[in-house]
Amino acid sequence: MKTSISFAAAALLLCSSVFAQSPIRGKVSGEAQEPNGKPLSFATILLLKATDSTLVKGAITSESGNYEIENVSGGRYLIAASMMGFQKTYSSPFEITAQATDIKMPVLKVLENSQTLEEVKVVTKKPFVEQQIDRMVVNVENSIVSAGGTALEILEKAPGVTIDRQNDRLQLKGRQGVMVMIDGKLQQISMQDLMNMLQSMPSDNVEKIELITNPPAKYDAAGNTGLINIVLKKNKNFGTNGNYTLGAGYGYYEKLNASIGLNHRNAKINSFGNVSVFHGRFRNTQDIDRTIAYKDQITYLDQNSPRVGNPQNLSFRAGMDFFVSKKTTLGVLASGFLNQFRMNGISSTDFYDKTRTLTSRFETDAYNYNRLDNYTGNFNLKHDFGKGRELTADVDYSFFTGNSGNDLNTTYFTPAGAITSKDIVRNIMPSTIGIAAAKVDYIQPLKNGKFEAGAKSSLVNSDNDMRFENQVDNQWILDPTRSNRFKYKENINAAYANYSTKLNKKTELQVGLRAEHTHSEGNSVTLNNIVTRDYVNLFPSVFVSRTLDTNNVLNISYSRRIDRPNYRNLNPFQFFLDPLTFEQGNPNLRPQFTNSFQVTHVFKGAFSTTLGYSRINDVIANQIPKQIPEENKTYVTTENLDHQDSYNLTVSLPIPINKWWTMQNNISAFYNRYRSFYYGADLDLGQFGASVFVMNNFTLPKGYTAEVSGFWNSPTQYNLLLARAQGQISAGFAKSLWNRKASLRINVNDIFFLNRFAGTVKYQDLDFKINSRWESRQVRVSFTYRFGNQNVKAARQRSTSTEDLRNRANSGQQ
């Protein structure tokens, strides 16, 4: 009820401004000693009631230091101006009468904050959601309910993001095909491996999440839905300092995490490093009910698969910057992870005839494992030519080595429970992926704008040997019909140019063009089949930003993108979960192309509304189900569908209820329509969907803070699968300790145990239901301590030249 009243009060507050009368104009100077003062750009302006200093409206000064507050009703007010590094300054009180039509304020002169103190602590908190010209930024670093969890659980809370844990799928605003970056590096492994890695990564490592739906030309053209960049925390201080975090959680099983970061800087060298570890166990239960019709027979299959997973992760990052001169910096960086994921359980499948009489059953004792290690080395250069001209270059090599597979021990029973036979099989898939890349970027300021240009070249080699073996007389015998060695080579050469300018005081323009040449060769050694592709494509992008007035900004963008098939999906292997359920690759996959349009309106720098449309041609549809009805087998594969149309609307509403309670609301609505000729029939599937995220932050006395958040995702169409609604509610408390050097956080995720996955497929002869539950309800405790010199500035941000390739090893590791 309180929330409804708060929404109503906020709505009345917004509506009341429509009936106000007078605008207020003025200017802020940052140096009072000059005759007219130097304009203070982007200062915060507050219109306060003179009687009690309560906030009426806010604004931001322009680059020329001017501000304008529109539609102010009669009354007595004063203006406050503030900015980091300057003293907060107030105007003299003034009054607006009913006859006033335009109020011109005298220049407000703000003094620099030159006072020297023994120790100054500036504590700021970023808004949970920030809307920028080309991306939405979700600041999760200070979220209480995020502490002690995993990066996958953090990603699930980002506005517009939907996680399908059952089928290892990720959607942004109702669309698949999103690429995931970590610190600007695309993760080149399979989506299954990516999910496992994020589930093993401590959430305390995550600083923010960037949702880039229409990336500019500087970014690689991969990702039809756009990019999700997970930015990890860095030690932001120099001198000698560090921090460590310890965390523990419990649901059905234990979860433990720890991390430590160290940093040291002197006049010539900056060295840094961090290590994090995660160990946990979780429970997952999956039920599948299938109806298979073949000729005049109907078979009902009831499958139940309880499983226990054990993800473990160790990640590391270490580097050094050499300050050759004031303008030149050389850097070396080594990073990587050791990721291990195990899952085991006994699944049972019952067979019924059309009269619902039990005819037979089997049990499969399955042990699934996945080991994926990554090592990356990078050399980078940054040179400042002066006057804004800058050159950066990166050369690096990334190496993945992995091994995954399944051990399946199946026992078959009669309806009475007697054993009829046993079957023991396994599949093993060792793999290696090597990625070499180099890029160079240059920035040239112009009179009214900026020009950027760059080039990049990458070479990928992967080798995957999928072996399927049967156990006969206690010996493993290779099954060549189910085995396949697959080698893949790919070379991408790209160049881009990007130009941004101010057309006038209110309009900004950014245009870019990226050209990419791709040559690839997929070699199924076992099948003696080689698929070669060679193509050149152009990818334009346009961004226009128009400041309508002091409170309203309109952003319009267009971009063209490409998604290339990942390495795993190109391999025609068969990966079995049980004797009747498996996954199969497709070496004939083609790349998909996307044209995206987007319009974003930002009100007062906080309230944003985005309307988008995209057309995807040759849609790469993952986890498409198929059947072999005569054998009662169901499998999933990846196929190209003709096209998909996607419409989406996203609204971000941060509402300050009062001084101690703020609310962040994000609402996304979308409509997806798939059209193609598929599986012997015309496919025409459309589905409306929506997602809602609400976060309440409470600032309490004595250093306590609290947070209550929740999300809800409506029913959604995943290609042929219609998923049911899902959501959860979480809460947490935090306490600052020891003069803010430490913090303790306690939270409960999915308090009411509501988050589960369920879906149905009904198309042609496909008819089945899926229900899945996992350990979403957890209690967590996290402790962080910061030590050393905490009073110096941050290291430069770097992204290596393999950033665009690792997602296809993450979304395509064989």
Q: What is the per-residue pLDDT for 197?
A: 64
Indicate whether 243 pLDDT > 90. no
* Residues comprising the chain, all counted: 814
pLDDT in tens, 600-612: 898 877 788 999 9
Phi, psi for residue 332 in degrees, rounded to 5: -125, 145
Q: What is the per-residue pLDDT for 36?
A: 53
pLDDT in tens, 144-184: 555 556 677 667 666 666 665 555 566 665 555 567 777 66
| Paired tokens of 423 | 């079957």
User: Mean pLDDT score of the chain, rounded to an integer?
Assistant: 81
Q: What is the per-residue pLDDT for 200?
A: 60
Nearest to 166 by CA among 58, 286, 292: 286
Question: Given 3-state DSSP classes, what are the helix, strand and coil percentages for the chain, each rounded to the nearest 5?
Answer: 5, 65, 30
Dihedral (Cα; 63, 67, 68, 69), 10-degree rounding: 130
| Burial of 752 per CB tally in 10 Å (0-12, 13-18, 19+) | exposed
The span from the CA of 147 to the CA of 763, in Å, is 42
| Burial of 60 per CB tally in 10 Å (0-12, 13-18, 19+) | middle
Q: What is the per-residue pLDDT for 165?
A: 53
pLDDT in tens, 580-628: 888 888 888 899 999 999 998 988 777 889 999 999 999 988 888 889 9
Q: What is the per-residue pLDDT for 314?
A: 94
Indicate whether 291 pLDDT > 90. yes
The span from the CA of 664 to the CA of 709, in Å, is 9
Q: What is the per-residue pLDDT for 494?
A: 95
Q: Helix, strand or coil for residue 193?
A: helix
What's the whole-number mean pLDDT along residues 391-407?
92
Indicate whether 406 pLDDT > 70. yes
pLDDT in tens, 648-664: 999 988 888 888 898 88
pLDDT in tens, 718-738: 888 899 999 999 999 988 888
What's the whole-number mean pLDDT along residues 242-264?
89
What's the whole-number mean pLDDT along residues 222-227?
60
The span from the CA of 798 to the CA of 263, in Å, is 16
Indicate whether 381 pLDDT > 90. yes
To which CATH superfamily is domain 17-109 assigned? Immunoglobulins (2.60.40.10)
The span from the CA of 429 to the CA of 582, in Å, is 15
Phi, psi for residue 16 in degrees, rounded to 5: -65, -25
Indicate whether 442 pLDDT > 90. yes
Q: What is the per-residue pLDDT for 138?
A: 73
- Split at pLDDT 50, 70, 90, the class of 218 is low
> How many CA atoms lie less than 13 Å away from 318 in the CB half-sphere?
7
To which CATH superfamily is domain 240-810 assigned? TonB-dependent receptor, beta-barrel domain (2.40.170.20)
Select the more confidently predicted residue: 479 or 679. Answer: 479
Q: What is the DSSP string of 449-478?
A: EEEEEEEEEEEEEEEEEEEEEEEETTEEEE
Select the more confidently predicted residue: 385 or 151. Answer: 385
Domains 17-109 and 240-810 share a fold: no
Q: What is the per-residue pLDDT for 12?
A: 33
Q: What is the per-residue pLDDT for 258?
A: 92
pLDDT in tens, 776-793: 999 999 998 888 765 444
Cα distances (angstroms) measured from residue 411 to each of 287, 349, 421:
19, 11, 6
Indicate whether 8 pLDDT > 60. no
The span from the CA of 634 to the CA of 290, in Å, is 9
Nearest to 135 by CA among 216, 198, 42: 216
pLDDT in tens, 42-55: 777 888 888 767 66
Percent of the chain with pLDDT over 90: 39
Select the more confidently predicted residue: 457 or 563. Answer: 457
For the chain, the structural domain boundaries read: 17-109, 240-810
- Determine which helix (DSSP H) or strand (DSSP E) holds 4, and give its type and residue range: helix 2-16
Let me know how many helices (H) and strands (E) the chain has, helices first.
5, 47
Partners of 126 in the β-ladder: none
Indicate whether 15 pLDDT > 50. no
Nearest to 730 by CA among 748, 712, 706, 746: 748
Cα distances (angstroms) measured from residue 795 to each of 30, 209, 302, 706:
28, 19, 56, 31
**DSSP 8-state code for residue 74:** S
What's the whole-number mean pLDDT along residues 59-84?
79
| Burial of 282 per CB tally in 10 Å (0-12, 13-18, 19+) | buried
Q: What is the per-residue pLDDT for 795?
A: 46
Q: Report which listed range, 144-158, 176-190, 267-281, 418-432, is most confident.
A: 418-432
| Paired tokens of 350 | 């019952």
Which one-letter amino acid corresponds to residue 46?
L
CB 453, CB 446: distance < 8 Å: no
Indicate whether 575 pLDDT > 50. yes
What's the whole-number mean pLDDT along residues 476-488?
90
Q: What is the largest CA-CA distance in the chain?
A: 100
Indicate whether 20 pLDDT > 50. no
Q: Helix, strand or coil for residue 750?
A: coil
Nearest to 814 by CA among 628, 621, 568: 568
Q: What is the per-residue pLDDT for 643?
A: 93
Percent of the chain with pLDDT over 70: 79
- Split at pLDDT 50, 70, 90, the class of 767 is very high
What residues contact residue 24 under an 8 Å CB cut-off, 6+ apart? 47, 68, 69, 72, 77, 79, 96, 103, 105
pLDDT in tens, 308-338: 999 999 999 898 989 898 889 999 999 999 9
